[in-house]
Structure 1
């Protein structure tokens, strides 16, 4: 009897031990599941994309430390919910408050490699083809480069889609592009039959060029309902989105609206351009001059890629066109 009682007690102890181990394992598995569920699922996913230079760029995880060399790319990254560790150097106020205190690192025309190296970014967003030459130096400091450009609204939308893929924010990118697409449809449906004749001048003091339709600003003019009088001008070899100003051709086209844009110093550019116009009596006979319809375009919307703010650029352009006499 005593022997049977001893055996029963032993079996009970073994059962309790097994139950304790099972409960312990269950608790460990639960804790593990909770830990995994709180991790950012995108942080462990590899990202491979093809940039505008047809280069395949692969990231082991979603890039977190990003440098943008122009305003459009900066705008798109923040619009997608991302942030920057380095932004383009600006002389004026920054339109994106979150980027106000971000380190300035130069531009697509000349980046500060020492500053970029200090920031040690996962990726630098540059221009194709301007920054192709910078790829070896950036790879030498352990960073990658994604090249894009924005010579049309369609290319801005492709940038948004590409950066959305890079940040794994595809749904947000689609939402941003849908808003741009809807704006284009609205403008097209409300477009006047007779389109105002526009001369779009890009300038720096002493240098002036006519923007062609293959430039972003020219594309905005056409999309907003205007006629770019320089559409058929021969492009410049060094600046294929622009052409030389041809006074004789401009006189024949007789623009109703002259728009001036610049990266910086817009007032100086305007004053210089008006001075050149005054030196040639032919300009005074044009409708835009007679009706005083010469406007300076804001640099953040037209002197550079505005990114998602291309909607604002389209709205402004449409209002200027509607005001043409």
Structure 2
């Protein structure tokens, strides 16, 4: 990809992180902790290291990404506000909640009308919105999801916030068991053959970037038994979960699969990517292209934080990598 696409690439990553994966600030986020204080008050420490105190577990919750919406409902809670999304609500019970924009374009007027106790945002993207949210009488709790472990930390954080610690522990134990089972299946698969080589791409027509292992999709790929051919590429300076796509590197690595993530029209994005490959004869030698193994991944599972549905993303990725396996 030419350097001229870098500016637009950054904007696209910003759109992606607004729904799920946040760009790293260069330091590991503080471990989320939660503890109920005396009486019914609640204190949590969010991913930005901020201590947030409430007089009681929040009843009116606004979430700026679908991952948090999913987790809140999995914990037994509900939201009054949810993100505007092409995929709709992640759970049917949340369909009636008011749409309020997203992490990268919060509609404060709509949020204010909902009179929320708490607004769940992205770290660090929504740090700038904290004063505005607090001005309407609400608190803001920040988290992010650049790995499955981050999703588990979100579950723990929101479990503490909702005074649902036991349910959060149960959800995380179930996810641990799912990952362990998947690891066993992958170990069996790779005894017969090497891990498939994969290029993970995020993009829109004309602009494409390689997802790195420190992104959520990259982590899912590794847990599902794939080898990320972009693993040692340098991340973009402001968005280290993604790298500039290098045709030369892709051709040299010769991936077995190319998986595309997008928030836009999946057919249009795939067609645009295929056209770009056709315009560059070097792509014709790539195994994934020759074997027609270039696919667009479901945006609700891979283009955004899927919350507890990350188990579905893991299973789908594993099935794509090992299609001959019959899953239990």
TM-score, structure 1 normalization: 0.85
From 146, 155, 159, give the equivalent of 1:151. Answer: 146
Q: What is the SS of the residue equivalent to 2:240?
A: coil
Question: What is the alpha-carbon distance in structure 2 between the residues aligned to residue 198 and residue 92 of structure 1?
Answer: 26
SS of the residue corresponding to residue 52 of structure 1 reads coil
Are 2:212 and 2:242, in contact at CA under 8 Å, matched by a contact in 1? Answer: yes
Instruction: Name the structure where helix makes up a greater proportion of residues.
Output: 1
Map of 2:58 onto structure 1: 63
The answer as to 2:71 corresponding to 1:76 is yes
Name the SS for the 2:124 alignment partner: coil
Alpha-carbon distance in structure 2 between the residues aligned to 1:42 and 1:267: 51
Out of 170-179 and 211-220, give the one that drifted further: 170-179
The residue number in structure 2 matching 1:313 is 313
Deviation string, structure 1 residues 274-315 (Cα, Å, up to 9, x no partner): 110000111111111111111110000000000000000000
Structure 2 match to 1:34: none
Assess if the C-alpha contact under 8 Å between 1:69 and 1:126 holds in 2. Answer: yes
Q: Higher Cα Rg: structure 1 or 2?
A: 1
Contact 1:221 1:227 in 2 (8 A): yes
Q: Does residue 1:138 correspond to 2:127, yes or no?
A: no
Q: Counterpart in 2 of 1:195?
A: 195
The equivalent residue for 1:255 is 255
Paired residues for 1:96-111 under 5 Å: 96-111=91-106
* Partner Cα distance (1:114, 1:88) in 2: 14
Gap runs ≥5 in structure 2 = 1-35
Say which is worse superposed, 172-181 or 310-319, in terms of deviation: 172-181
How far is 1:132 from its partner? 0.2
Count of residues in Structure 1 that have an aligned counterpart in Structure 2: 285
Asked if residue 185 in structure 1 is aligned to residue 158 in structure 2, the reply is no
The partner residue of 2:46 within 28, 48, 51 is 51
Offset from partner CA, 1:134-183 (integer Å, 9 cap, x none): 00001111100000000000000000010001001111111111111111
Shift of residue 126, structure 1, vs aligned partner: 0.2
Cα distance in 2, alignment partners of residues 86 and 175 from structure 1: 26
The RMSD of aligned alpha carbons is 1.7
Deviates more, 1:93-102 or 1:242-251: 93-102
Contact 2:87–2:300 (CA under 8 A) maintained in structure 1: no
| Aligned residues of 1:67 and 1:125 also touching (Cα < 8 A) | yes
Shift, 1:42, TM fit = 11
Q: Which residue of 2 aligns with 1:36?
A: none
> C-alpha separation between the residues in 2 aligned to 1:229 and 1:319?
19
Which segments of 5 or more consecutive residues in structure 1 lack a partner in the other structure?
Answer: 1-40
> Quick one: structure 1 residues 126 and 93, their matched pair in 2 at CA, closer, same or farther if it must change by over 3 Å?
closer
Query: Which of structures 1 and 2 has the larger relative contact order (alpha carbons within 8 angstroms, sep 6+)?
Result: 2
The aligned counterpart of 1:125 is 120
**Is residue 115 from structure 1 mapped to residue 110 from structure 2 by the alignment?**
yes
Cα distance in 2 for partners of 1:163, 1:307 equals 12
SS at match of 1:190: helix
In the superposition, the TM-score normalised over structure 2's length comes to 0.84
Match of 1:94 in 2: 89
**Given the superposition, is the C-alpha separation of residues 308 and 43 from structure 1 closer, same or farther in structure 2, using an over 3 Å criterion?**
farther
Whole-angstrom CA distance in 1 between matches of 2:169 and 2:96? 29
Q: Describe the superposition over 1:109-151 as per-residue Cα deviations: whole angstroms up to 9, x where unpaired.
A: 1100000111110000000000000000011111000000000
